[in-house]
Amino acid sequence: MSREKIRTRIKFCGMTRAEDAQFAAALGVDFVGFVCVPGSARALLPQAVQAIAETLPAGIKTVALFQNAETAVVQEYLRHFQPALLQFHGREPAAFCAGFGLPWIKAVPMGEPQVYADWERDFAAAAALLADSHTVAGGGGSGHSFTWAQLPAAADRRLPLMLAGGLTPETVGSAIHAVRPWAVDVSSGTESGTKGIKDHRKMRAFVEAVRAADEA
């Protein structure tokens, strides 16, 4: 009997330039993420996100990342472009996350001890949980990893898991073998050394490493 082929979804986050987002689409990634958090080195204004998103092919899904944003801020971004997913990286309750009529992802701050099952219970309506290396007080995109053993086994998860936190072309294969996530999310691991500026060689190498892990 043939074994079902595994396909790990890929999200490239922290896009600030159209050429990087377009290259991600050409590589066949599933999601392109934009940081909508004032003060972040990768943050873009709504009009800038709109300008990049309009250059992308229809098949690629865009993600808007917020952290403790006011309702009016989220609505202002949604007035300029319609992401496929919202991603909430702060202390937002489930009712807030669900209040915009779009599928959403909730980030779990694995940089400090968590009862992962509690997050699955409290955010049961999420499209996925994103396990990242930040703490409750911090944001993502730090380039640091966390101990994957903190996560429940794939068979014990109730929601799809998107894995983030210090992933690189060199480490993502091991992460996929160890965690079996539904998707992987990378920001700093595909950058040139400047936040928000992508290295196309690293982007390609990351995608190739994910596909090699899936084949294995």
Cα–Cα distance between 200 and 155 in angstroms, integer?
35
- Mean pLDDT, rounded, for 30-45: 95
Could you say which of 97, 132, 156, 199 is catalytic?
132
- E-strand stretches of the chain: 9-12, 31-35, 61-66, 85-88, 104-109, 128-132, 161-163, 183-186
DSSP 102: S
pLDDT band with cut points at 50, 70 and 90 for residue 2:
very low
Cα–Cα distance between 87 and 65 in angstroms, integer?
5
Provide the whole-model pTM.
0.93
By C-alpha distance, which of 20, 83, 4, 84 is closest to 46?
83
CA distances from 81 to 47, 75, 86 (A): 8, 10, 12
Q: Find tokens 């890929």 and name the residue.
A: 10
**Tokens coding 105:** 């992802």
Q: What pLDDT, in 10s, does the model give residues 143-153?
A: 567 788 889 99
Q: Work out whether strand 104-109 and strand 61-66 pair parallel, antiparallel, or are unpaired.
A: unpaired
β-sheet bridge partners, residue 183? 9, 162
Is there a contact between 133 and 164 (Cβ–Cβ < 8 Å)? yes
Q: What pLDDT, in 10s, does the model give residues 110-128?
A: 988 889 999 999 999 999 9
Could you say which of 13, 20, 36, 97 is catalytic?
13
DSSP, residue by residue, 145-174: ---GGGSPPGGG-SS-EEE-SS--TTTHHH
Predicted confidence at residue 138, as pLDDT, reads 58
CA distances from 86 to 75, 100, 115, 129 (A): 11, 9, 23, 12
CA distances from 130 to 114, 158, 164 (A): 13, 13, 7
Neighbours of 215 (CB within 10 A): 8
Q: What pLDDT, in 10s, does the model give residues 64-83?
A: 999 999 999 999 999 999 99
Q: What pLDDT, in 10s, does the model give residues 170-185?
A: 999 999 999 999 999 9
Residue 136 has pLDDT above 70, yes or no: no
Neighbours of 216 (CB within 10 A): 9
Residue 118 appears among annotated catalytic residues: no
What are the chain's domains?
9-215 (3.20.20.70)
Residue 132 appears among annotated catalytic residues: yes
